[in-house]
Structure 1
Amino acid sequence: MADETKPASGDSAGLSNGLVSHGDHKSRRVYQAARSLHSGAVKDLLSLGVCERCVFRLVSVEAFDSDLSSVSASTLRSWLESGDEEAASSEESSCCIVCLGVLQFVFSDAKQTLLRSECGSDYAARVTDLVKQEGHEFDSFGLEVSVPATILENERAVLLYLKGKYNSESWLQSEKISVKDALKVLVLDPLKVSLGAKSDSSSFQIRLTYSKASDEAQGASETTRERKKRKTDEENGSTSMSENSFEKVYEPCILSVHCNKMPIFFSGRYFKYSRNVSQTRWIIDDERMGEASVEELIGENILPACLGDSYKFHAAGREDIDVRMLGSGRPFLIEVQNSRKCPSQQSLTEIEEKINKSEKKLVGVKDLKFIGSQCWAMMREGEAEKQKQYAAIVWIARPVEEKDIDSISSLKELKILQKTPVRVLHRRSPLERERTIHWMKVEKIKGSSHYFLLHLCTQAGTYIKEFVHGDLGRTTPSMGSILGCRAEIIQLDVTDVKMGDS
């Protein structure tokens, strides 16, 4: 320890003067740490306008811990200045030239109201009030802090100044805790108490964002030329920074508190009963295509129950707007962003009933439930393995014969080659894909010799309409080529979607 370090013998005097309230353990530790700091550096930093907690950060990283949040700034200054309380009070109104008030628990809110907290618990109470206004339900949280780049620049300038005077001191060589990490150290424990929640790598995040007040309001910002000069001096190892290089800061940062919860997921299977409902919102040139969408009819019912910001709809494949989804339904997920609550299973059952009892009966839902985020990956993996079953009304250019029925029904694991259909070439790559028709079955339609009902099970990704009519020879073989005549699909329904082993 250098000669200028404050002597330990002053501890008893400080305690007897009541500087450590009731002599409690935390305050005593902070007091002793303050008395151990390099007195010359402490005096220089305080005279520059560096706050008390930044002094602890910059002079001795070992002395910086959560206990500092329980002691007021005025008391800290008294201890740092050997009990000179008059000197302490003269600087209380200024914001720190390094942290811009962040570690002083001083900030302006969105309404430009100046707010000052004496200690970490008071600051935590203010943050807690803002968090609770968001209405989130949570039992744990993660804390993120963002500060303006100016703070880092100011700190570099102060450290450059210190190097000019104390370059040989060991405490100056140690790595310094950053302002945002220091704030976490100071307020995390008080926040846990105030919020009544534990702190971990939670799905619920509280973000404290500090933004710099305007240059004019700060009255201390450097010009671009000054900033470049300071950076050049630092890179060249210059130690020419002087006390005149720093000006007082009169306005602190603006603090905004944002809460965000990781997305939550709900799964189920949907049915689409209309041939005029798209799977997702379909708008062209500001004009809606179709009467509604599955996405909206389900998502708009779930979102209010979660008090979320928005939602995303995911499904295991898709059907065209004129294709119904029947049978066992198509698996889907609803991803809700920044939900404030998670509805109970009873609430989900009520949502399901509301959708199913809708007057227009455009869509239906079953098995609606809350699931973990891992199910999204599982659904995408299962989609690659899925099989789909269809029922299609097919027309052919000649009367249907018994041999046609036998010929079609006898085909098993039929391999076909499909080029990207003409109807989707404008949005899909021109590729050729091999697909499998696992089985087919034909039913005659009474009173109609040119029509039949085709049931088939195919590999995922098979274009059924093109398999029937051939798509100008781009799908081979096709129903038309198998029967040796023109074939057209009149109506198509999806009757089952099998995921993986399901």
Structure 2
Amino acid sequence: MPVSPPPSLPLPDEDTWSLPAFSLLYPKINCIRCSLRLAGVCDAEILRAPERQLRATLCSAQGAEISHATCRMCPLCLGILQSSGDRELGSALLDAILAQIKTKKYVLPTGGDSPDMTQHKSTTDPVGEMVAEHSKYLLERKVPFILGVSLPGSVAIRDRAALEWVACEQQTGRHQDPGRRLDVKEILKAVLESCLPKHYPCLYAASTPSPGALRVDLSFWHAGADEADYHQGVRILLPNATGKAFNRTRKRRRHEESNQENLCNATVVARVLQAATGDPNVRSGLAVFFARNLMPPSTHSPTAYAALETPAASSVQVTREAIFLAGRYLKLSREMPQTLWVVEGGRRKGKASVEEVVAEPVLDWTSATSAVLIGSGREDMDVRMLGTGRPFLLRVNDPRRIPGREEVAGLEAAINQTTGLNSGGDVRVHGLRLSDKHEVKAMHAGATEKVKMYSCRVWVGGRVDRALLATSLEGSKELVVAQKTPIRVLHRRALLTRPKVIHEMRCTDVKVVEGGEEGGEEGGEMAVGTYFTLHLRTSAGTYIKEFVHGDMGRTRPSVGDLLGGLEADLLALDVTGIVMEGEEGEREEGKEQEEEAGGGVKGAEINGIVV
């Protein structure tokens, strides 16, 4: 039974594209799509049609059969826009994208219940219960996707060279701008952005990434094309392109050439195209480069063309943009770092970190690859975080599921449960909500303006009455302290003297210990001196430990200095409040919560005795 010819496509008006230019190019490059796009066809729907249908359409337009070139692979697109038989452009890439979405089990609405939405843990698990309720929410959502395409640099150079060769052959417009032409990247993006939503109606193409957006990255490379174009095109047309004009040192250039590394990078391509715009000699050189190196080997340069017999290699990577969860956390342990702390030898310090406790249920529910906690500053491992808590963002990378508001509330409850890594109940989270990456910048920008509140148990080596504390410490308002970089952090911070401000101080729980007092189970002897709890409000970045003991004179004035040169030491420290810029109204609220929590540090155990 004879096969019926495919239906013809509606070609654009003749005044918008050039059939003679197509007739010049196609016999040379054997790529019907590159010939059409460089001839001025800018409709991606036409270019995505199967090659057999395109060929039939052009045969009827020309009134004769289209001749074939002797080459197997297009020297312009490096085979990227070529497809076999009746397959549409991008079919193989689309199959690879859909396969990765299925393999990675991204939860996307498809117009009905998806197995991925309901198959999870038993409903006795609160995380599993949230997943079971997530289906309805997903079906009402639209999910953006971002398509990124990376091409060999030689593709852009070859496109321009082909245009200059056509202009030279037609002897018209050689020194004029070639006008609007679709490049390979634009065609691929237009085709795939229209095809993907047909399989997942929830998806829509977006120009900028957003939290939870699907990201598809297509990468193509062809080392042979880049090498040939660099040595036989760029270096001849632009001899200065290998020097300072390309911001590449001679040593770097020799390294790249010896390793064939990134020869036609974005800088090289931009330089060539810029030169072609303003230099007629470069335009003529590009036309000659096309004729000598990019036509079939029987014409000019069989050695150079031999490297182009294999198409460009490609890879497809599907991921999901990170989502951000914002909130505040409280840390009730003095043996827990904010993030994982590993010392030399691979030994970790402290209990499970705050980051691990917060991330555990989130990773379990979203099936993300990893999560990173970004805090507004950090407290030392032996310092508790009380009061209203420390603002933080949790960046969840490549999540399979995206939570809604109800799911976020459930995640907060799951974090606060005394199970898993948080079995001791050492971490509490409140105000958890969805956020975005812009809040990271806002958090870091406001970090220098925030006000912090502390409570610490202090020992002073001498008898200090309440009146002296009131005049020397509580009477010091807006005290400016000069702090050299503390010795304990000098290995990771620059040696500077930083001015900090102690806004106010308040002393409570004063206890004077005379000589010979004993207590505790072991009958340890308490150090002679005065013990009291010091409450402070300071500017961001103040080193409280060093402000108390002076850090061998590197912080001036210190608590000991203010009390007449007495020796002072810090026994225990809590952060009782953090007020970010724009939260001035919360300062009094933070003070009230500090008082409700007992003012932070109530005592510290020294030699078995609570002081």
Shift of residue 437 of structure 1? Answer: 2.0
Correspondent of 1:460 among 516, 537, 540: 540
Verify the 8 A CA contact 1:466 1:475 in the aligned structure 2. Answer: yes
* Secondary structure, counterpart of 2:11 in structure 1: helix
Structure 1 position 211 matched with structure 2 position 201: no
- What's the offset of the Cα at 1:488? 0.8
1:57 aligned residue (15, 29, 37):
37
**SS of equivalent to 2:334:** coil
Superposition map of 1:402-441 within 5 A: 402-407=466-471, 408-441=473-506
User: Which secondary structure state, in structure 1, belongs to the residue aligned with residue 182 of structure 2?
Assistant: coil
Residue number in structure 2 paired with 1:489: 570
1:38 aligned onto 2:19 = yes
Q: Is the contact made by 2:163 and 2:178 (CA closer than 8 Å) also made in structure 1?
A: no
- Displacement of 1:270: 1.3
SS at match of 1:280: coil
Question: In proportion to residue count, which structure has more strand?
Answer: 1
Q: 1: CA distance between counterparts of 2:91 and 2:176?
A: 32
1:94 and 2:158 aligned = no
CA distance in 2, matches of 1:136, 1:85: 51
Measured in 2, the distance between the counterparts of 1:478 and 1:35 equals: 79
CA distance in 2, matches of 1:413, 1:179: 63
Contact 1:272 1:363 in 2 (8 A): yes
Q: Counterparts of 1:60-139 in structure 2 under 5 Å?
A: 61=40, 63-69=41-47, 71-82=49-60, 94-105=72-83, 118-120=87-89, 122=91, 125-126=94-95, 128-130=97-99, 132-133=101-102, 134=104, 135=106, 137=108, 139=143
| Equivalent pair of 2:143/2:204 in contact (CA under 8 Å) | yes
Distance in 1 of aligned mates of 2:148 and 2:489:
45
State the TM-score, normalizing by the size of structure 2. Answer: 0.67
Kindly indicate whether the alpha-carbon contact (under 8 Å) linking 2:50 and 2:83 is maintained by their aligned counterparts in 1. no
Partner in structure 1 of residue 198 of structure 2: 193
Render the CA deviation track for 1:385-443: whole Å, top value 9, x for unaligned: 22222221111112342323432333333332222222222222222233222222222
Quickly say closer, same or farther: Cα 1:153–1:272, change in 2 above 3 A: same
Cα distance in 2 for partners of 1:92, 1:283 equals: 62
RMSD (Å) for aligned C-alpha atoms: 3.7
Describe the superposition over 1:18-61 as per-residue Cα deviations: whole angstroms up to 9, x where unpaired: 8672x7xxx2335x75997434x4344222233111111222x2
1:385 aligned residue (430, 434, 449): 449
One-letter amino acid of the structure 1 residue matched with residue 216 of structure 2: I
- Specify the code of the residue in structure 1 equivalent to 2:193: L
> Out of 356, 359, 363, which is 2:427 matched to?
363
Structure 1 SS opposite 2:81: helix
Letter in 2 for 1:271: L
Q: Distance in 2 between matches of 1:432 and 1:154?
A: 58
SS in 2 for 1:104: coil
SS of aligned partner of 1:299: helix
What is the Cα deviation at residue 172 of structure 1?
Answer: 8.7
Aligned residues: 465
Q: How does 1:345-364 map to 2 (within 5 A)?
A: 345-356=405-416, 357=418, 358-364=422-428
Cα gap change, 1:465/1:45 in structure 2, threshold over 3 Å: closer, same or farther?
same
Indicate the residue corresponding to 2:338 in structure 1.
279
2:324–2:435 contact (8 Å) kept in structure 1: yes
Match of 1:397 in 2: 461
State the one-letter code of the partner of 1:270.
Y
Q: Does 1:322 align with 2:322?
A: no
2:213 aligned with 1:149: no
Moved more, 335-344 or 492-501: 335-344
User: Structure 1 CA distance, aligned partners of 2:573 and 2:189?
Assistant: 59
- 1:81/1:37 CA distance change after superposition, 3 Å: farther
Task: Show the counterpart of 1:12.
Answer: none
Aligned to 1:254: 313
2:129 maps to: none
CA contact (8 A) 1:117 1:123 kept: no
The aligned counterpart of 1:235 is 282
Following superposition, the deviation at residue 265 of structure 1 comes to: 1.3
Structure 2's unaligned 5+ residue stretches are 109-141, 240-280, 515-529, 587-611
Provide structure 1 residue ranges, at least 5 long, that are not aligned to the other structure.
1-16, 107-115
